[in-house]
Structure 1
């Protein structure tokens, strides 16, 4: 896993992760887009599997830390969905990628669809992670709640004890994945997101129906949905994907709410089948 930074014109550094394929080939790369307040490391296990050829032909994988998230900087202004989509284009320009398959989670889905509207012809396949092709105004109460709950932890054990009652995560899984979402600094352990980001997102948020942008997405579309309470895409919104992509493949992740990309046997099997189908289409 390699780290790269791009200096953006707004005066901040945009960070992305890269997994290089096991051997050079002409297969299209994969771009991963995270959701609100997450970061590109959430796709680490996916990047490793794809680049190593565990799910078919090895592919180059890029996972972007959108502005304010992960190791990316936080500009003073510019947090509309179009600004976030421009971060994707900046990475594609920097890497020389013209077309790619996309894997997007949560609010990363409408950001990706906005990217398709602003830069058509670049998405050649789309894995949709439990979110509609819509953006919504964020409630101020949401921001205030996040700010009130923001805490710097002094030890990893303290952090685990604080999150374990609300998340079913074993000590072993926590030890394996803790640095995906947290980082240890001089004064303690912080979440991998700028504390001021929620307020900036809330100020620039708006209600947008971007479903017409699905018409600009080429290639196969795979929709992953949770089966438990907490899923963020309803049946009517799933139907909108079907209308634009009649060949849409849908998968319900057993035992999942919104977190449909957590590493588990069912999810890995779905990805393996998806990328195998891309290899077959490429050869025919």
Structure 2
């Protein structure tokens, strides 16, 4: 089989946003999947997933300040990241799609779903509670100096984005009922960000919840149990 054609696109908007799209080689009769990466992740880190879900169309964005997307000096609260999703959905011509989000991307995806439920078919949320966290100013230097720099991720997220997330983010817990079917993926080892109380909260806001635990993983499931993760995503989408 020839390599999957994945097109790279830049949206010219108030903040220019980059995304990848496998539409050209996709079976457009299948409901597409939109991917919302984690805090310091880029669209390029999900190219393998787009290959794995083929022939389903996959779209994945780099949020503002990440990857090839523009990095404004300010504008990093929840509403700003929701705007990035809105722009990608409109530019890609999406009207009905699944959404998959990981880590901090879960907050942004939930914010979008709350505002635009009619666009959403199924929801996949990975290892993050149903809330948008206030990271706090003290988090900025620690995260950048002890994670971004030593793990060589300075090209993934800008210092401006880290500063903005740390200083602008406001706390918000999602409580509105969402009449959708959701899959919650979570690790069980040290580092997981989902506690049993978070699962109870998820069950109060979604119409139906499936839960898949990854017993050999903490937070970074894609690196510790990648094959099972991809299989779990495909199976849920194909039902």
After superposition, what is the alpha-carbon deviation per residue over 1:82-131, rounded to whole angstroms, capped at 9, x for unaligned? 11011001011111111210010011111111112222311111111101
After superposition, what is the alpha-carbon deviation per residue over 1:166-225, rounded to whole angstroms, capped at 9, x for unaligned? xxxxxxxxxxxxxxx85xxxxxxx43211221111111111101132xx2353x211100
Distance 2:145 2:27 in 1: 48
Distance 1:119 1:245 in 2: 15
Aligned to 1:254: 215
Map 1:67-82 to 2 at 5 A. 67-82=64-79
Q: Which moved more, 1:36-45 or 1:88-97?
A: 36-45
Distance 1:115 1:269 in 2: 26
Distance 1:228 1:248 in 2: 21
Map 1:11-160 to 2 at 5 A. 12-20=15-23, 22-51=25-54, 58-149=55-146
Cα RMSD (Å) of the superposition?
A: 2.1
Q: Which moved more, 1:139-148 or 1:103-112?
A: 139-148
Aligned to 2:169: 205
The verdict on how the C-alpha distance between 1:23 and 1:46 changes in structure 2, with shifts beyond 3 A counting, is closer
Aligned to 1:54: none
- Structure whose alpha-carbon radius of gyration is higher: 1
Distance 2:147 2:217 in 1: 25
Distance 1:232 1:23 in 2: 34
Number of residue pairs aligned between Structure 1 and Structure 2: 233
Distance 1:197 1:97 in 2: 27
Aligned to 1:274: 236
1:216 aligned to which of 175, 178, 186: 178
The verdict on how the C-alpha distance between 1:23 and 1:90 changes in structure 2, with shifts beyond 3 A counting, is closer
TM-superposed deviation, 1:141: 2.1
TM-score normalised according to structure 2 size: 0.89
The verdict on how the C-alpha distance between 1:266 and 1:103 changes in structure 2, with shifts beyond 3 A counting, is same
Distance 1:113 1:127 in 2: 10
TM-score normalised according to structure 1 size: 0.76
1:265 aligned to which of 224, 227, 237: 227
TM-superposed deviation, 1:23: 4.7
1:7 aligns with 2:4: no
TM-superposed deviation, 1:63: 0.3
Structure 1 counterpart SS, 2:10 = strand
After superposition, what is the alpha-carbon deviation per residue over 1:212-255, rounded to whole angstroms, capped at 9, x for unaligned? 2xx2353x211100011100011111111122335311111131
Aligned to 1:166: none
